[in-house]
Amino acid sequence: MTLTEPWRVLAFLVGIIAFVALNAAYLVWLERKVAGHIQGRIGPKEVGPFGLLQPLADGIKLMSKQLLVPKGVDPLLFKVAPLLVLVPAVMSFVTIPFGENLVARNIDIGLLMIFAFASVNVMGLLLGGWGSNNKYAVISAARAVSQNVAYEIPMLITVVTMIMLTSTMNLNEMVIQQGGGILNWHFFANPLMPFAFLIFFVCALAETNRAPFDLGEAESELIAGFHTEYSGMGFGVFFMGEYANIIIGCSLAVILFLGGWQSPFEFLSDQGLWGVFWFLAKVYFLIFCVMWIRWTYPRTTLWGLLNLSWKILIPISLLILLLTGAMIKVWPLITGAS
């Protein structure tokens, strides 16, 4: 039986919500394990074998706690803010191709749609901090806005470079163009692409407020940042949104540069479930790198964070855009542009 389009999208949304919830739970477990091994300790080990049931225990604990609305906050903004972080992140998964035929909606402007939804995320952080009526949360919200504005620019310039290279904003089409083995991935399209990938990855770290760019959640300065006043699942929804955005950032890096669901070797299958395997393997490898970076590098300063974007990443990304445009015009066969 073939599902009609509305029911197909609904089925995908239910699956995506389950996927996000499961990943938010077990990426926290993985992060604690990675942190433990990097710091010479074990990490969670008491609840279930290897601590595998620890996320379930944490989830039950959060859901059993009362969602308190402190005195003096703006009740509407306080309650809406976590949803503005999580819901756009979930909606962004609709257009991400997990396999050749495993995508909720194959939208021609799917890349634009993801960045449209991503722009709502910073509003959730701003409203959460402002609505909390807490000076530390307000400072955190201001930092989050300045950080997102600064790093959206080089990220979007890099994305425009990739659109110029591929002549499409359809994510599935971008992946199809990278078929035929690892050397056909956009990462190797021309000598500038590794630098473009690095800029995109650094911007993804900053956009998701991950260390060393977690100035909005600097525990030593701002307690917990914009979610200082949140308890129970209000706090939990913020973390689900953060991990969902990490998955989206890594998924886009894989789609734009690392072949998406394509196999790295031409003689290995990338059809059906194999395509899903290759896609998730690449995504989780990048997620591991995100965690590795968090527990390896110290937190930067606010001015260092902003200077990195405005003085270094933006000029370099503009230079890559201009040089890629020139290469497409002069050497279209070398760049792979159509």
- Give per-residue pLDDT as tens, 232-281: 888 888 888 888 999 999 999 999 999 999 999 887 877 888 899 999 99
**What are the residue ranges spanned by the domains of the chain?**
14-64, 69-335
Instruction: Say how far apart CA 208 and CA 122 lie, in whole Å.
Output: 10
Q: Classify the phi-psi angles of 297: left when phi > 0, otherwise alpha if psi is within -120 to 50, otherwise beta.
A: beta
Calculated CA dihedral for residues 334, 268, 288, 149, nearest 10 degrees: 40
Task: Please choose, from the candidates 21, 23, 126, the residue with its C-alpha nearest in 3D space to the C-alpha of residue 81.
Answer: 126
Structural contact between residues 140 and 226, judged by C-beta atoms closer than 8 angstroms: yes
Provide the pLDDT confidence category of residue 4 given band limits of 50, 70 and 90: low
- pLDDT exceeds 70 at position 224: yes
Instruction: Say how far apart CA 265 and CA 179 lie, in whole Å.
Output: 9
Residue 329 C-beta-side C-alpha neighbours within 13 Å: 6
- pLDDT exceeds 80 at position 336: no
Instruction: Say how far apart CA 267 and CA 166 lie, in whole Å.
Output: 24
- What's the pLDDT score for residue 5? 66
Residue 206 C-beta-side C-alpha neighbours within 13 Å: 28
Task: Say whether pTM exceeds 0.85.
Answer: yes
At a CB cut-off of 8 Å and minimum separation 6, what does 327 contact? 190, 192, 334, 335
Helices (H), ranges, the chain? 5-38, 54-64, 75-92, 110-131, 135-166, 171-176, 193-207, 219-222, 232-257, 273-294, 302-307, 314-330, 332-335
- pLDDT exceeds 50 at position 1: no
Give the gyration radius of the chain's Cα atoms. 20
**Paired tokens of 18:** 């389950």
Provide the pLDDT confidence category of residue 210 given band limits of 50, 70 and 90: confident
- Three-state DSSP state, 61: helix
Calculated CA dihedral for residues 179, 184, 187, 188, nearest 10 degrees: 180
- pLDDT exceeds 60 at position 150: yes
Provide the pLDDT confidence category of residue 332 given band limits of 50, 70 and 90: low
**Paired tokens of 2:** 């073939």
Q: Is the link from the previous residue into 212 a cis peptide, with omega within 30 of 0?
A: yes
Q: What is the mean pLDDT of the chain?
A: 87
Which tens digits make up the pLDDT trace of 57-90? 988 888 888 788 888 888 888 888 888 888 888 8
- Three-state DSSP state, 149: helix
Which tens digits make up the pLDDT trace of 317-328? 999 999 998 888
Instruction: Say how far apart CA 151 and CA 305 lie, in whole Å.
Output: 9
- pLDDT exceeds 60 at position 334: no
Which tens digits make up the pLDDT trace of 174-201? 999 998 889 999 999 889 999 999 999 9
